[in-house]
Amino acid sequence: MNFNRLFELLQGTELEPWLETLDEQIQQGLCNDTFGKLPVWKAALEALPDIQTHAVDLTSAQITVEAESSLSESEKTDLKVVLKRLMPWRKGPYLIHGVDIDTEWRSDIKWQRLSSAIKPLEGKTVLDVGCGNGYHAWRMRGSGAALVIGIDPSPLFVMQFQAMQHFIKEERVYVLPLGIEAMPDNLRAFDTVFSMGVFYHRKSPVDHLYQLRQCIKPGGELVLETLVISGDEDQVLMPGDRYAQMRNVWFLPSSKAMIKWMQRCGFKNVKLVDESFTGFDEQRSTEWMEFHSLKDFLDPQDISKTIEGYPAPLRAIFTAEAP
């Protein structure tokens, strides 16, 4: 994996100070000594066939790559075998040279909820925090963003992104093996910052809001999606050991409390733009993610509750302006 083009793109921009540490951070995030399965995933990338891409669609629900000549059934089978070596695939969907990657999450549903509520991305520099394998980053580029940088500390997600990049070959979209802690203090360089499905995993949610704020240009936009609960501005749930079988879930505020927190952290014009329960059409097990999924995380006698007895997953999307 070569990130030299990214380094070139950052030179002479407001992101240039990040170059002092970025290369070392990437190397640490992709260290074989730290992540034992990395050699297996890298071998899968090397096994991907070289197929001449004829058309790429980053604007439809299913990110699609097509060859000028359709692959034979045996070639599709071989490609599918290699891509499955990068399982589990959680964010998507993708259609790569006729291979339908039916991911656990229909991430296009979330994108549909927020895309009309955010400021236009045309020509913008965008950061996607906790981006997974980059599905939404591709959609951001499809919406006209000039540069999209996704960060996620999971190297498997970086490998999945690289598998897509092998065929798409888009020099304006990147996924880096980093957490938000890797971002320089007071960078204030991105026009739009997304944090989706991250907030409830943070031990200190207010610190996370300040970290996000430090990445955004004055007047830029934060798009934040998180689990919430019903209630007034003082209502917050701190689950026990697990929530919907997820470990590392710390705080689920009400939407009203979330707005209050964002305002207290200095964000302006905070808006709740969507609140939706997660359904079985949006999150489910598939042949590309064979582990337990949403239906296994809810009370089989009452799907309005998690298996632990908490309110079922309710997700909210907020937008706000950085001061």
**What pLDDT digit, counting tens, does each position of 86-141 carry?**
999 999 999 999 999 999 999 999 999 999 999 999 999 999 999 999 999 999 99
Give dist(CA 298, CA 306) in Å, integer: 4
Could you give the angle at the alpha carbon of 160 between the alpha carbons of 158 and 164, nearest 5°?
115
Helix or strand or coil: residue 248?
coil
Q: Would you state the pLDDT for residue 28?
A: 94
Which of 173, 215, 194, 192 shows the shortest CA–CA distance to 9? 173
Helix or strand or coil: residue 22?
helix
Tell me the pLDDT band of 32, cut-offs 50, 70 and 90: confident
Residue 301 half-sphere exposure toward CB, CA atoms < 13 A: 2
Which residue is it, tokens 């921009």? Answer: 13
**Which pTM does this prediction carry?**
0.97
Which of 275, 244, 246 shows the shortest CA–CA distance to 258? 275
- Give yes or no for a contact between 155 and 38, defined as CB atoms under 8 angstroms apart: yes
- Identity of the amino acid at 116: S
- Give yes or no for a contact between 152 and 130, defined as CB atoms under 8 angstroms apart: yes
Which of 152, 148, 123, 124 shows the shortest CA–CA distance to 137? 148
The mean per-residue pLDDT over the stretch 205-222 comes to 98
Which residue is it, tokens 């749930």? Answer: 237
Instruction: Dump pLDDT digits (tens) for 242-254.
Output: 999 999 999 999 9
Q: Is the pLDDT of residue 172 over 90?
A: yes
Q: What is the chain's mean pLDDT, rounded?
A: 97
Residue 252 half-sphere exposure toward CB, CA atoms < 13 A: 23
Instruction: Dump pLDDT digits (tens) for 274-316.
Output: 999 999 999 999 999 999 999 999 999 999 999 999 999 999 9
Higher model confidence: residue 23 or residue 34?
A: 23
Record the tokens describing residue 27, joined without a space: 């190397």
Give dist(CA 22, CA 187) in Å, integer: 13
Q: Would you state the pLDDT for residue 11?
A: 97
What's CA 68's distance to the chain center, in Å? 30
Assigned CATH topology for domain 4-33+106-321: Rossmann fold (3.40.50)
Phi, psi of 180, deg, nearest 5 = -65, -20
Q: At what angle do helices 107-114 and 135-142 cross, to 10 degrees?
A: 40
- Do strands 99-101 and 94-96 pair parallel, antiparallel, or not at all (unpaired)? antiparallel
Q: Would you state the pLDDT for residue 34?
A: 74
Give dist(CA 163, CA 305) in Å, integer: 37
